[in-house]
Structure 1
Amino acid sequence: MDRPAVELFQYKDKEQSSNLLLQLNSLRQENILTDVLLCSDNTEIPCHRNVLVSSSPYFRAMFCSNFKEKQQAKVFLKGITPAILTSIIDYVYTGLISISMDIVLPLMQAASMLQYGRLFEACSCFLQKQLNPDNCLSMIRLSEIMNCKSLKDKAKEMAMRKFSDVSVSEDLCELSLPELMGYLEDDSLCAEEEQVFETLVAWIHHDPLSRRGAISDLFKKVRLRYIHPTYLFQFIANDPLIQSSTLCTELIESVRRLMFSVSTKIIGDTAAGFKNLWVRQRRYTCCDRLVVVGGRKNNEQTSREALVFEEKTQKWQALAKLPIRLYKASYVALHSVLYVIGGLTTSTKYSQVNTTVYTLSLKTNQWRMAEPMLEPRFAHQSISYLHFIFVLGGLGSDRRVTGTVERYNSMFNQWESMAPMPEAVLHPAVAATNQRIYVFGGEDAMQNPVRLIQVYHITRNMWLKMENRTVKNVSAPAAVMDDKIYIIGGYTRRMMAYDTKTNRFIKCANLKERRMHHSATVLNNRLYITGGRYVNGHDVIQDSDNFEVYDPKTDTWTSKGTLPYKLFDHGSLTLTCVSEKWAK
């Protein structure tokens, strides 16, 4: 009979390497077969050359080349203390070492000198765990001295991410001009532009005689487009440093002309240089977030809730509650601040139409009172454009439909009356683009649909109206994407995109149900729809907790799950915040 084939058995002893190291260390401690003494000051440590050669390119070069140490029984290592040398030799023979703040720097230097790369990185890892906003700039300096890229990268990352805290440290004022410029021009800097300005001013004031001349170069790093106009024109423009620089004052004047003209054209002597500065995007640590506020919750009383949607976790988080319940207020975002304007307050004894304005920013998560409107109103519309908020129509104190319009100027913190609408309507779809406000449809005082497009020219303070049989929306939101105004539902499943240049409507993918009293906002070039009411298959109106998104590139709707509760007549807005501040 044939014998079975012998199989090849590959055996690996997992304990061999560790046992070998233990035995070598035992031989070293008993001074058996050691053939070299490593010396530091008066300390002599017996070692095996072959172990040292195997552990480090430094010792391999020393003992395997034509260096004099090859023949010496004693080798003196300068610049390394006995304690550090002992720790390193123990590490070589055992793979173990204890790192503390007391020894990490000399240990790191010795590891670098003796070319123990993994030990060097272990020291770097230890220092990285000690990083905080107070020491990260010092750690960058240290990493440059030590030529440690991993520590430098982590320290730089913290300096960028925690810039709010780092900017007030003494170390920041010691930065060189190129170093500071590198921070301020970086897109990943976690800071609002107001803070960028305050940082450069503090840096200059630390050594004004030698640094004043840098104001123009530094000021170009501030993205003026994203600074609140009040701060820009009342604080920055009046700063002595800014006034001392012709270029800085010209840049601010260019912003002023742009905002006062309510135009998107850049004019003036500094147009060429200013255009490049003006078109710079927000820093990518500035994140747009979807916020839902107010409305009728679960078909009960008016809600004080405010929620923010966290894209990463796909969950809703609660914000500070509105101070009071406001029925049919309007909601708008301007300069990354949420405004809740007007509305009706009710109690068992009386109801009141309000002129109140409440504001909330994600930075503070606190509600504040702002300058009140000129007229009390509810069931009105609000829209922002550049540094203005326009409030249109609604119901006044007499509960009658009004066509009045007023405008809030955020540069001067004041309201002013504007030309009234040609036709007073309730619940129209409103959007602003290219210096114009478009008011689509709505209903008249008798609740009849109005087939009109009313257009307000912002710079001329003039209205015109156009009859259009396509318009038949009531209680539908509107939003602007890619120069088109999207009108979403309004007692219909239909969504239309209005091209302002051709005065034509383009049909888009339908909603799943006949939808009204919902809200819409644009986030990351997509249209987010929240809540509302819908007509079911039995023609019964029901409240909705739907949360959907529309992609104009594919003309498709996708479900994003649901809201935490059913909601209608609410606000749905996009607010910008610095991501690191939000993480706190």
Structure 2
Amino acid sequence: LKRLRKKNSMTDVELKLPDRSTISCHKLILVAASPFFATMFESGMKESTQQVVQLDFSDAVTIKMIIDYFYSGEIDINVGNVQDLIAASEFLCLDDLKGHLGAFMTDQINASNCFEFYRYARKFNLGKLIPHCLEHILANFAQAFRSIETIIHLSEEELISVVSDDRLKADNEDMVFHCVVRWTNADPKKRRDAFVKIASFIRFPFCTQELLDRVPREPLMMNSACLDILSEAMSVRSPTQTPSWLPVHRSSITSGTLNLLVSSTGIYWIDEEGAHGKWRTESSNHSSFNWVPHWVTNYSSMFIQGKLFSFGGQKNGAYCSTVQSLDPIEREWKPEPPMLQPCSKPYIVHFGNKIYVLGGVDASGQTLFTQEFDPVWGTWQLKAEMPGVCQSGAAVSLNENIFVVGGAERVCFRFTPSSDTWTVLSRPTH
């Protein structure tokens, strides 16, 4: 049959493809291979009497591969063509081929494509692929949802199927909440009502205290149904569910160079020799322990979602873009997505659900970079540069703005994140 087709011998129909090329075929082969063609040529449709049949259900390359498969029983499947072949198999009712294609996709699943594959599997009813994709999504939630494009194109049903599953693994429930908010804000008019329904599946008791303090101010939560959900979550929240570090030994606060930080759970002081102290606000107790010292110096620190983060610094005199978080269980530093620009001792400001890294020092001297970090999705963006240098000053967020004040230059700068603009204000008098 392949030989006859190659010689155009005894062919009785031509298939016209989207690129205007044609393929000579035997109707008998098409009818035997595909229920679609069987219906076309045996049910009295107009195509049954035409010598040339127009096909436009896929691109020309994919259609040619399918026709070759009818004659040879062989087809080259790869990552680049598998989704087009599945769509074509669905159109032509080729269940066996679709099953093989689904099996191929199962072997290709990873954390970066699992949700794309999941949506495709649901669309084309690839029953065996669906549970494998869902398992990867639940096990790699943070990476699977890192792209905003992945989130905003989900259906309500698809999003609920993920956030409601008890197998979902995340460092905390903050990321789940931010995911649902992003999905809703992509089309607020159509999705605002759905937010209330989906919010009921978020495990608010397992959110960080930092998020719970801000949630009531989220516009989407300002309705009786969501506030009831939040109130119930707060009532069942147990202190044991809040990440905490157990004391190793009691000690007094010592003198020397310390990094002092404040979070919603207490006051922390840290030295670069590996000693860590904490004053717990909930118990008014002081505790301390030793951890693996940081391998860089002159970094800036901040508590984010219950973890200590370090930004930048120096190693052997070289300026670093390194970002690390201190794991409270293993008491070791773990890598996070690096900054876009290396520097030491930048200002760190928490604003909304973002972290802003301002200025700092690099090999050329004082820098003016404004770097925005999203700790939920682990992404960085460069924003408008600072209007000037501010050495040894201070930075703070207030209402809708961030202020950089003082320093050797006695400046006052205002940054508005919503418009990505800096404004130079009157200098301090002292």
TM-score norm. by structure 1 comes to 0.37
Task: Give the structure with the higher percent helix.
Answer: 2
Report 1 or 2 for greater relative contact order, CA contacts < 8 Å, sequence distance ≥ 6.
Answer: 1
TM-score norm. by structure 2 comes to 0.47
